[in-house]
Every structure is written in C-alpha cells, then in structure tokens.
A = this chain, B = another copy of it.
Amino acid sequence: MEINNSTSPAKTNVISHLIGFPKKLKDKAIEIVKKTKKIGKDDPRKIWHAFKVGLALTLISLFYYYRPLYDGFGQSAIWAVLTVVVVFEFTAGATLYKCLNRGFATLTAGALGVGAKYFADLFGKEGEPIVLGFLVFTLGALGTFTRFFLHMKRRYDYGILIFVLTFSMVTVSGYRVDKILELAHQRLSTILIGTATCMIISLVVCPVWAGEDLHKLISSNLEKLATFLEGFGSEYFSFSEIDESGKASKEDKGFLGAYKAVLNSKANEESLANFAWWEPGHGSFRLRHPWKQYLKIGVLSRECACHLQALSGYFNSKPQAPTDFHKRIEEACTKMSIESSKVLKELASSIKTMTQPSSSASETHLRHSKAAIDDFKSILATTEALLLSSKLDLLEIFPAITVASILIDVINCVDKISEAVEDLSVQAHFKKEKNKNKESSSSPEKPPPQHHLLHRGIVKPVVDVDDVEGGDSVMIEICGGGAAVAVVEEQIVRV
C-alpha cells in the first residue's frame, strides 16, 4: 500500500515533467538569450572579441586551404591553429604577454632541445634515452618549481610552461624523428605566424587595452565611494523626508551597495596591472605608464570601502527620531560626508580626464571637510551642558558619535587617496587644468612641495600629453617614466 501511494505521485511527476520539458527548454533558451544580450550590452567589446578569435582562426586555416603555404609547412601548420586558440586573450596586454612569452620560450627551449639532442648523441645508442630522460626530468622539475617564485609567476608563468613543453617535445621527439633541426624550425616559424596573427588582430581590430580598463576601474571605484558618501550624508542625518514619504526614500537606498564592488576588485586590478605592463603606448598612456601607482590607489580605496561598510551597518540601525544631539551635529557630519564625497568625485574626474588634481577644487573640498571635523569637535566639547541639563543620555548619542568617528576616519583615508592621486598625476604627466590655475594662485595657502616642482622642471617638454608621439622628446620621456616607476616600486614595498 505504501509503495503504491508513493509511486502514483511519482508517475504523475514524470508525466508532468515530460509535458513541461519543451517549456523548460524554451525558458532555458530565453534565459541564455537574455544573458547574452546583457553581456553584449554591458560590454560590446566581448562580442567583438569573439569575432576577432573567429577571424584569426579562419585566417590561420588558410595555411591549410592553399596548397603553396601548406607545402611550405606541412603537418606542423597545425601548431599555428593551436597557438591562436591558446594565445588569444580578451585584452591586448594579456595577448601580448602570452605571445611574447610563447615566442621567446619556444625559441630558447627549441635551441636548448637541439643542443640536448646532440649532447645525448655522445653517449651512444644505449645512453641516449637515459641522458634525455634525465634532462627532461630535471628541466621539468626545475621549471615547475620556478613557477612558484612570485615575481616569475606574475610575468613569465606562461613562458616557463611553454619552455618545459617545447624542450620536452623537441628532445623526446628528436630521438625518433632524426630531422630534429627541421622540426624545431617548422615549429618555431608556425608559432611565430600564429602569434603574429594574434598580435596584429588584437592590436588593430578594436583593441581592448588592459591599461585603459585599469584606469577606468580605479576612477569608477572612487566614484562609487563618492556615491555612497553623498547618499549617506544626505540621508543619515535628515529625518524630515522619511516621516513624510517613507516609501520614496527607501527606494533610494541604491547607494548603500556601492562600496561592495570596490571591496572585491583587488584580483581584477592586479591582473589588469600585470597585463598593462606588456602593452605599448596607446592614446594618452605612454609605454611606461605608472600602473603600480594605480594599485596603490586601489589599496587605499579598499581601505576606505572598509569604513563605508561599517557606516552602512549604522545606516540600517538608524534611530526613528532625531535626538537633540543629532540635530546639533547634523550640519557638521553632513558636511564631512558631502565634502569628502566631493573630493573623491574631483579625484575620480581628474583621473578620468587625466588632468592634475593638485591646486584644484579637490583640495578646497578636503579643507572644507577637515574644517567640518573641527566644527564637530567643538560641538562635542560644548555638549556637556546638554548632558548636565539631562536632555540626553550618553547611551542615546552613542551611535551618532560612532558614525561621526568613522566619518573622520573616512576623511583621513580620502586625504591619503588624494595624495596618491597627486603622485599619480605627477608620475603620469597629467595635463594641467587651465581654468582652475588662476583660482589656485589667488589662494596660495599650500605651496606645492619641492620635489614636485623639480620633477615638473625636468620633464617639462612632455608634460602636455598631446606631445607624446613627437620625435625628439621621446627619450626624455622614457627616462622620466623610468625614474617615476622606481619611485613607485619603493612606495609599493612600503605599503
């Protein structure tokens, strides 16, 4: 009886499952189409990338379809196909990284492999496989271990892999093929054709620059932090609107999640910076653009995002009605939040437009936000009177005090970000903003530091980004860039 009872619903289940199957399939297809559309809309370059890979593959196929090319390379033209599939990456930097690593590794490992083959020949028919086996084991183990060194992994991981691969293949196959030099030559030339195809297509057809992506990511992360602070500043200390239209303001809480993407962008930033290192100069970015300084700003952004996470916790447990103390500190705290948000916005836009932030609006806002801290502290110093008259108790003002304290931390963090962005603007030779220069000369409170002026003097011929491709100034520019990179490396180590 029990079995019968349990089977009949199972049967119905199977039938309803079969009836529902076409609908499920349709739903799945619709879902995939929707996802595809979303990816294409968010970043049309991804669709372009797919086309580019298809194009490169089809081009390489020509080696097979047209007899003259095929006769030249024979079976090993297959290596060109393999190279294209394996090497073609989304960003130009990643493609270059893989192409250059693959090319150089194949060259050196091929040469070493041929050498090993001739060396092993000296040991006669019996000794040859033993010597070759020993060499393959040693090179394989050593190469694999080298990939654990952090510096090697970051820059040459793929190259080491291809080195071990080519060396093993050349020595091992050389034992039987006998035409080892021809094999090495064919393999090298087909790989060069494959990498050259990839590099040209990836650099010419709608190139996706890792450096540009990193640049935009850092700038948009600062904007996200600013969005949060702006929203927080205008909502946490204001109660009037909530009472009147609670619904409307609840829908407005989109800013609360803004910091989360910043917290999780570390891995993305680092891989972009690694790939950007391989890219040639493009647009406003020179060959030795200080990518490491972007990482420094990224670290500080995440530190700031940490504070914002704490703030968002307090936003959710915001009291229903303002206390007297709330009202007293409202102005100062709102100002702290709004002004620091303005600083971040200025910094983000100065990165975006590649103009120098120093002596511009960002400094003014930073000064305002610091003044707000002082305001808050003086309010705090005069609050005892209120406590004395027992209009409020310490327990009630406790969250508000903490929020203010976190805001002060945020401002300190924003100060550090501002300094880092200023360093970046010097190292990357950002343009000077013409309109704001006059304004700053009328408020000479903070003269630019000495090294700042010095640096500007040295590289003056290339300060203007439009000049970057001019002939004579190129060498000076690279020297300047080199020195700047050295400085950044020191700073990164300190971080």
Contact = CB atoms under 8 A, between A and B. Distances in A.
Given A35-B149, A387-B387, A175 B65 contact: yes
Interface string A30-42: 0000011001000
Nearest to A136: B57
Indicate the member of A54, A307, A401 with the most B CB atoms within 10 Å: A54
A207 interface: no
Contacts of A70: 176
B144 A54 contact: yes
A309 interface: yes
A394 to B, nearest CB: 5
Nearest to A80: B172
A381 B395 contact: yes
A430 to B, nearest CB: 29
Interface in A383-404: 383-384, 387-388, 390, 393-395, 398-399, 401-402
Contacts of A168: 57, 61, 81, 85
Given A141-B50, A384-B387, A172 B61 contact: yes
B394 A172 contact: no
Contacts of A46: 145, 148
A340 B374 CA distance: 34
Query: Which of A149, A377, A402 is packed against the most chain B CB atoms within 10 Å?
Result: A402
Interface in A28-71: 35-36, 39, 46-47, 49-51, 53-55, 57-58, 61, 64-65, 70
A479 interface: no
A58 B85 CA distance: 27
Main secondary structure of the interface of A (DSSP, over half): helix
Contacts of A65: 129, 132-133, 175
A384 B388 CA distance: 7
Given A50-B142, A53-B141, A384-B394, A58 B136 contact: yes
Nearest to A174: B64
Count of identical protomers in the assembly: 2
A173 B75 contact: yes
Contacts of A313: 409
Contact of A85 (B161, B175, B177): B161
A200 interface: no
Contact of A64 (B164, B175, B302, B401): B175
A21 interface: no
Contact of A78 (B169, B380, B381, B387): B169
A182 to B, nearest CB: 13
B50 A144 contact: yes
Nearest to A270: B267
Given A58-B133, A140-B53, A165-B85, A381 B401 contact: no
Interface centre among A144, A310, A395 (most CB of B within 10 A): A144
Nearest to A61: B172
Given A39-B149, A70-B176, A138 B381 contact: no
A137 interface: yes
Contacts of A381: 393-395
A264 B309 CA distance: 16
A145 B43 CA distance: 12
A128 to B, nearest CB: 9
B82 A169 contact: yes
A384 B169 CA distance: 81
A394 B54 CA distance: 68
A203 to B, nearest CB: 18
Nearest to A388: B388
B57 A137 contact: yes
A395 B138 CA distance: 67
A156 to B, nearest CB: 15
28 contacts: A36-B145, A39-B148, A53-B140, A55-B137, A57-B136, A58-B133, A58-B136, A61-B136, A65-B132, A78-B169, A81-B172, A85-B140, A85-B165, A85-B168, A266-B266, A266-B267, A267-B267, A306-B310, A310-B409, A380-B395, A383-B394, A384-B387, A384-B390, A387-B387, A387-B388, A398-B401, A399-B405, A401-B405
Identify the 5 closest CB pairs spanning chains A and B, nearest first. Answer: A54-B141, A402-B405, A50-B145, A267-B267, A306-B306
